[in-house]
Amino acid sequence: MSKSPNRLLGIVFGAVYIVVGLLGFTVTSGVGFFATQGGLLLGIFEVNIFHNVAHILIGAALLIAGLSNVRAAKTVNSVVGAAYLLLGLLGLFLIGSALNILALNAADNVLHFASAVVLLAVGIGADKNVRTATA
């Protein structure tokens, strides 16, 4: 495997998000799929079943891209980073509303913003010699 920061980050973040998604199921017994309030993972992150599934799918995308090649990792890191930035912004307005189908809380928003910063910084800033779009 190359020494690409994008590939390394995709593999590490992907594995972590998959584990977090799986661990989330240990605290969501009796919580509805789209419940606006969920169980507390690690005592601070609120999750419901939909949130857990989203973590697993996002983690799988990051992991697969990281294991594939630099272009895939760079693209997926950037896209997931942008999605987490958007989710962080939306989360500021969703907490406490009936539209909060991911059972987001303030700790989730902080983690989503932090993930967005790291994924976007590496996705956009590293491996500049690799283009993300085919020409």
Q: Which residues, other chains included, contact 122 with Cβ-Cβ below 8 Å and sequence gap of 6+?
A: 5, 6, 9, 77
DSSP class of residue 101?
T
∠ CA 43-44-49 to the nearest 5 degrees? 90
Predicted local distance difference test score (pLDDT) of residue 130: 72
pTM of the model: 0.90
SS3 40: strand
Q: What is the Cα–Cα distance from 124 to 82, expressed in whole angstroms?
A: 11
Q: What is the Cα–Cα distance from 5 to 74, expressed in whole angstroms?
A: 9
Instruction: Going residue by residue through the chain, which has 135 residues, state the pLDDT in tens, using 9 for 90 and above.
Output: 568 999 999 999 999 999 999 999 999 988 989 998 899 999 999 999 999 999 999 999 999 999 999 999 999 999 999 999 999 999 999 999 999 999 999 999 999 999 999 999 999 998 888 765 543
